[in-house]
Structure 1
């Protein structure tokens, strides 16, 4: 079996969708030499900043570090064992943090939803910049909170590895190599979208 990876892995959609959506996927084989320039990095967070949010409350915040920086090292140390091996090759590691309590001490409505929208914007901007991004739930939120002094009204939600895609999967263990080469799949629309009554699909 060749160790070369597909250059792209477009989604197999029932009708055409925008290339940014079709080409977005979450590789683990990252180029350890790839770098992200200042303008491209700033563009990721500008994209996140302009995501919609409930009442324009803008709950998304980010911790970010480039490979070789202390912040990168500290975020990497908080990743689960399953993520830390491959994520060390990322050009950038970040943690998305949601403000979940407002200035009056009340729960901020839809904070997690706003965080998700902002991060999706960020990931799609990464695709537009010719980069790849892999979002991760596997990290220690308490380590991030204590290590970076995250206030109590904020909740670390997601870690993201961003960089250039590697052309080879030889550095990955077998179980991850199989995932890297497997086709992308999703449930059919008939299981996801309903009309007239639950379970009756218009598609």
Structure 2
């Protein structure tokens, strides 16, 4: 296996950032032999748990499916398109769920935003722990909700692949090309509408 030179994946930032943010990127090539320990999983979820949320409601839930388990197969089989072509080598697939309504049906309008914060915390912690994550939106949410018996008011928003970086040459084209392509971001002046 010949993993990528991770120094080539560092972000070329316009301002100094902390190391986990500079080094964070979303690989598709994962080491199929790497595993997550119970402590690894607990640490990632603990980082998510301490994210801020509206009224401290913490409207996030997670399904952690480690490679080699029935849950992993269920999540992997619900992935769509190219996601199935590479996600099978991740050490785990984490289903990210927003509690958009509580058990009485009362809406939680900021739940998806809050879940995003929790997943971002998980992602930065993973990077700090020498793990990499890749967020996915291509999946059959209804299939997963049924498979895991999710109640009304719980909405699957994304799935996060987690693991150690693997060999980009193991990816099918054009995914291999995308894996090694230069990283780009829009400049700040395109993103900021007004700054005083």
Is TM-score (shorter-chain normalized) higher than 0.5?
yes
- Aligned pairs for 1:113-132 within 5 A: 113-132=113-132
TM-score, normalization by structure 1: 0.91
What is aligned with 2:100?
Answer: 100
- Partners in 1 of 2:193 and 2:171 — Cα distance? 40
- Over residues 22-74 of structure 1, what are the superposed CA-to-partner deviations in whole Å (9 max), with x where a residue is unaligned? 11100001100011111111000000000000000101100111111111111
Aligned residues: 194
Q: 1:150, 1:104 → 2: CA distance?
A: 15
SS at match of 2:93: strand
Partners of 1:54 and 1:109 within 8 A in 2: no
Which residue of 1 is the match for residue 54 of structure 2? Answer: 54
The offset of 1:105, in angstroms, is: 1.6
Runs of 5+ in structure 2 lacking a partner?
Answer: none
Q: 2:103·2:153 contact (CA, 8 Å) conserved in 1?
A: no
2:36 aligned partner: 36
- What is the DSSP-based 3-state SS (H/G/I as helix, E as strand, rest coil) of the residue aligned with 1:101? coil
Contact 2:48 2:122 in 1 (8 A): yes
Structure 1: give runs of 5+ residues left out of the alignment.
196-200
Confirm or deny that 1:76 pairs with 2:76.
Answer: yes
CA contact (8 A) 1:132 1:164 kept: yes
The residue number in structure 2 matching 1:146 is 146
- SS of residue matched to 1:152: coil
TM-score by length of 2: 0.94
RMSD value over aligned CA atoms? Answer: 1.4
What is aligned with 1:198? none
